[in-house]
Amino acid sequence: MLKRVNWRRRLCVLTASAVLGCSPSKTLAPDPEEIDADIARPEPGGPLLGSIPGPMLGPFDTYSQALFSACRKIFTKPRSSAGRKPPETALREEQEAFRLRRRVATEYCAWMYYTPDNQYAISLLTDQADPDPTGTTKRCIPPPFVEDRRYPSESIQYIVVLHNHTFDTAISTKDVRFIVDQGNLHGFEPKTKDRDRRLSVVAFFSNEHENPTCDGFYTYTPYTGKILKWTRDGRQWTCMQTHVVKWLTRESLDAPTIKEETAPCPTMGGAL
């Protein structure tokens, strides 16, 4: 069962190892990096969440408003960015510092969804993940369903799996497989007021690690099979296709191949 902690009401402290009882004569200080009202987590030692509450952000009239609000929110979270990866010619100390930041960095993820009120919303975040003791792989696993008590569950349209990559790196094969699985579950063509909107996965990145900002993102849409990269120069956003996704066989969707293939972004059905 999902627990949400409200420190204004002084509930018990939830830690990774135990649940500590509340005492009327002693106040326990919360750890803001472990407990956050915007982050949903499974019970310690329990299974991954099957659903995630919403909304955390919204409602939004447009897709782009929801997208950039989610990006800004994610990069307010602890260790959300390792910063820019240094070139191979960089000093050893710089390389080591980046590897350390990458090892302790965290991926956060959420759903962008569409409501019966013809507006976009963002679910709570989660940082639930497959454990990796080496810290070399970061992969947040969003629950497959959104729980918005304002609407019947079947009325919600699933639009985008949102997450951050801890540095500038493209959509992975695991990202591709996951969003295809979600498409098989929810459909690849959600019904929205935006005719060309398709189910997709977005990976935000920042080039800063101390005060990260939304510097760009990759997006993959199974409907098109293309991976696009959006980058920001001041207030101006530009787009370039970086990769295409191919499948080894028509019978199996377990083995996507991501091939580098640059091209201008399509004029229709783009991310913005």
Where exactly are the structural domains of the chain? 1-35, 38-264
What are the percentages of helix, strand and coil residues in the chain, rounded to 5?
A: 15, 30, 55
pLDDT at 251: 54
- What is the band of 102 on the pLDDT scale with cuts at 50, 70, 90? very high
- What is the band of 2 on the pLDDT scale with cuts at 50, 70, 90? very low
pLDDT at 92: 94
pLDDT at 133: 62
Mean pLDDT of the chain: 85
- Over residues 35-41, the mean pLDDT reads 89
Tell me the helices (H) and strands (E) count for the chain, helix number first.
3, 13
CA distance readout (Å), 153 to 111, 114, 234: 14, 11, 39
Length of the chain: 272
Question: pLDDT higher for 15 or 236?
Answer: 236
Task: Give one DSSP letter per residue of 4-37, joined into a string.
Answer: ---GGGT-PPB-SS-BPPPBTTBPPPP-TTT--T
Question: pLDDT higher for 130 or 36?
Answer: 36
pLDDT at 235: 82
pLDDT at 85: 95
The pLDDT of residue 153 is above 50: yes
- What is the band of 18 on the pLDDT scale with cuts at 50, 70, 90? very low
pLDDT at 250: 59
Q: Copy the structure tokens of residue 13.
A: 């402290």
The pLDDT of residue 19 is above 50: no
Minimal CA–CA distance to 227: which of 256, 253, 185, 251? 256
pTM of the predicted protein model: 0.84
The pLDDT of residue 24 is above 60: no
- Over residues 29-58, the mean pLDDT reads 84
The pLDDT of residue 38 is above 60: yes
**Type of residue at 261:** E
Q: What is the pLDDT of residues 198-250, one digit of tens each?
A: 999 999 999 999 999 999 999 999 999 999 999 998 888 999 999 999 987 65
Q: CA torsion, points 68, 74, 79, 82, in degrees to nearest 10?
A: -30
**Type of residue at 220:** Y
Q: What is the pLDDT of residues 175-207, one digit of tens each?
A: 999 999 999 999 999 999 998 899 999 999 999
* Cα 124 from Cα 177, distance rounded (Å): 23
* Cα 204 from Cα 192, distance rounded (Å): 23
Indicate the helix (H) or strand (E) that contains 58: strand 57-60
